[in-house]
Amino acid sequence: MNDDAPGPSRETLLNLRAMLPSFIKGLRDRKIVGKGKPILTPRPTKCCGICGSMHAEKMMRRDVEIQIVPEHCPRCLELLASHHTAFVCGDKFVFRETAPDLKDFDGQVIRVGPHVMDELEKRFSVQQRRKNNGNN
C-alpha cells in the first residue's frame, strides 16, 4: 500500500475510531441516529374513555415517558353533542339516541353492569373497544 494514496490521513482515521464507541452507545440507546439527530415519532397523548381510541398525537422521542390523559375523541364528542347517550361496560360500548322521557341523560356517558349490557346487546349494535397496547 502506498503512503501517498488519496483519502483520509491515518490521524483522521484514528480520531474517527475513537468516536465509534460513544456513537454505537447512542444508537443502541436510541438517542441519536445518523448525524446525532433525535428520533421523533408520533405518539398519542389522549385515550377516549368511551371507544378506547388513542388520539391527539405529538411528535416525541421514543425514550421520553408520556402521560396518557383520558379525554373523549372527536367522534364520540360529536355523537354526545348530537343528543346521544353512551353506555359503557368493560370493553363494550353503544351509542343510543336519547329517548324523550330520558332527556336528563342526554349527552352523558353511563357506566352499566354486564347484565344491562347483555340486554343492550340483544336490542342494539354493540361495539368492542379498541385494544391499545401502549407501544404506539
Q: pLDDT tens digits for 72-94? A: 999 999 999 999 999 999 999 99
What's the rounded mean pLDDT across residues 25-53? 83
93-102 residue pLDDT tens? 999 998 888 7
Determine the pLDDT at residue 131. 67
pLDDT tier, 133 (very low <50, low <70, confident <90, very high otherwise): low
Q: Name the E strands within 11-83.
A: 40-47, 54-61, 69-70
Joined together, the cell numbers standing for residue 18 give 475513537
Residue type at 27? L
pTM above 0.75, yes or no: no
- Mean pLDDT to the nearest integer, 45-66: 91
Integer CA distances (angstroms), 12 to 8, 17, 58, 119, in order: 6, 9, 40, 76
Cβ neighbours of residue 45 closer than 8 Å, sequence gap 6 or more: 56, 57, 58, 66, 67, 68, 69
| pLDDT in the model for residue 135 | 46
